[in-house]
Structure 1
Amino acid sequence: MAIIAGIELRGLLERGGVVDMVDPQVQVQICGVDLTLRSIERFETAGAVDFDNREREVSKTEKNDFDAAGWASLEPGCYLITFNEAVSIPKDIAALARPRSSLLRSGATVETALWDPGYRGRSQSLLVVFNPAGLRVKRNARLIQLAFYRLSAISDKGYEGAYQNENL
């Protein structure tokens, strides 16, 4: 697998690979696209994960509001975040994300899953605040860089899971 960059990355974006960017001039990087913060939710209940999803139970959450200036003050802990951008992954590509270094240097990180070929949606990830003093984060903050990888072959089928077209 190779990271898609340069002209090929711009072509993917022009075909709708990532839409609803706050500012493409700032967000499009050499090797990917920065995704920005749309909303934050606190976990309220336990979740349940099983083998075949028949007993899966996603944790209930409660919205964490931004103040009048657009800031949220977060205590140490885990938060469900939703990104502004929606992605549409072609069947010959998968995507992985890494936290931006400014977030890491502030004592926090974002945990993500693989963006499968054929996935379409406005993704969610896990923001983990390790810093004992907490973290202040502003609406539309750039939190992760999404990198696209060319697969060795086109996938026979695309993503068909429960999160297809999420948050659109």
Structure 2
Amino acid sequence: MASIAKDLDPKLFYDAIVHFDESDEAKELYYQVMDTPTGRKNKSGSDETVRDRILKAYGVLFCEEAGLEPGDKAGVDEVADTADRLYIGGTGYDPDHWYRMKYHFPVIDDDNYDRFAALVLADMNCGPLHDAALNDGDTLVVGEADPLHMTAQQRKNQKVKSVSFPSGGAQ
């Protein structure tokens, strides 16, 4: 099992996350990958898992204002706070472009925050968001908090930044 994450097609992992609630096989694959050791050690000296790596990457990409130090893992609060601010394409879009709702995460909590973080990173690496960035120029945009309750003018005037991986993706 230690090599499952290394040998697995990233698209299969992305599909397992997307179909997590629909399939026991998807759940099993998701948990196998997330619990796979990376061969590195955490700050505490224990074996780092793919889950740890994903939460660290999510923290680096999206949680600058949370005050995380480099190498700190994003927790449920950091993921939940950021999830409400992710758009596909650009600001001012309707709720269909709000990333969290597009992927059916009405609540981000202790049970799914790591799955949401994994979804975002897998999508940027090999999912539709990756394809949209390459083909259509759409990106993942981090906006201000509470985007669904903003007026159109507030959405238009908000501060945003695009997030992307170097070409070819990263894991």
Q: TM-score range by the shorter chain?
A: under 0.3
Higher strand residue share: 1
Which protein has greater RCO, CA pairs closer than 8 Å, 6+ apart?
Answer: 1
TM-score w.r.t. the length of structure 2 is 0.25
TM-score w.r.t. the length of structure 1 is 0.25
Higher helix residue share: 2
